């Protein structure tokens, strides 16, 4: 059984994961409109992955006797001035999600909820991957700079850039 504090924190994470999916979806739509086919494909995939992260949390809360809450989402407020700005926001958002997951782990440990602590270890590992991927992409964009040919090749390479697949929803 989940404590009220743990349930509230997990429900907040459900909202954050849903908003993450929306952020990636908004980025995907912008990239698609601008002709960045590879970046759009990457962002659509990431949006789907974030939704699956949300569903995994939702199922966990319900299975542990809690009640998962589906709340209203904030409209993504993004800077579309450049690909660099877009990916900088992506990286900063992943850092924010990691901090939130770490806070959940802290709540689980301080309340001696070892089942939730164990469950959250998947998210800890996932966020290490997410942050690292975002940083690698951002570093590549910094190398390219304003070179249109480099950006074209980068966009093409993004079609094949995928994070490790996970069996998320059971």
CATH number at residue 23: 1.20.1260.10
- Domain residue limits at 140: 4-158
Residue 70 lies in a domain: yes
Residue 170 lies in a domain: no
Interatomic CA distance for residues 104 and 136, integer angstroms:
26
DSSP state of 168: -
Residue 29 lies in a domain: yes
Q: Structure pTM?
A: 0.90
CA 29 to chain centre: 16
Number of domains in the chain: 1
Residue 167 lies in a domain: no
Q: How confident is the model at residue 165 (pLDDT cuts 50, 70, 90)?
A: very low
Residue 96 lies in a domain: yes
Over the chain, what is the mean pLDDT?
93
pLDDT, tens digit (0-9, with 9 covering 90-100), for 106-157: 999 999 999 999 999 999 999 999 999 999 999 999 999 888 999 999 999 9
């Amino acid at each position: 059984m989940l404590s009220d504090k743990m349930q509230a924190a997990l429900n907040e994470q459900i909202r954050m994961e849903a908003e993450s999916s929306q952020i990636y979806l908004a980025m995907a739509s912008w990239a698609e409109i601008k002709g960045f086919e590879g970046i759009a494909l990457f962002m659509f995939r990431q949006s789907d992955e974030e939704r699956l992260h949300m569903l995994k949390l939702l199922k966990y809360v319900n299975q542990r006797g809690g009640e998962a809450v589906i709340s209203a989402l904030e409209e993504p407020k993004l800077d579309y001035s450049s690909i660099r700005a877009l990916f900088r926001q992506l990286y900063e958002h992943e850092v924010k999600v990691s901090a939130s997951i770490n806070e959940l782990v802290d709540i689980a440990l301080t309340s001696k909820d070892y089942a939730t602590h164990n469950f959250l270890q998947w998210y800890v590992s996932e966020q290490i991957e997410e942050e690292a991927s975002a940083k690698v992409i951002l570093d590549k964009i910094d190398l390219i700079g304003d070179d249109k040919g480099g950006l074209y090749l980068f966009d093409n390479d993004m079609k094949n850039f995928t994070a490790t697949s996970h069996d998320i929803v059971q």
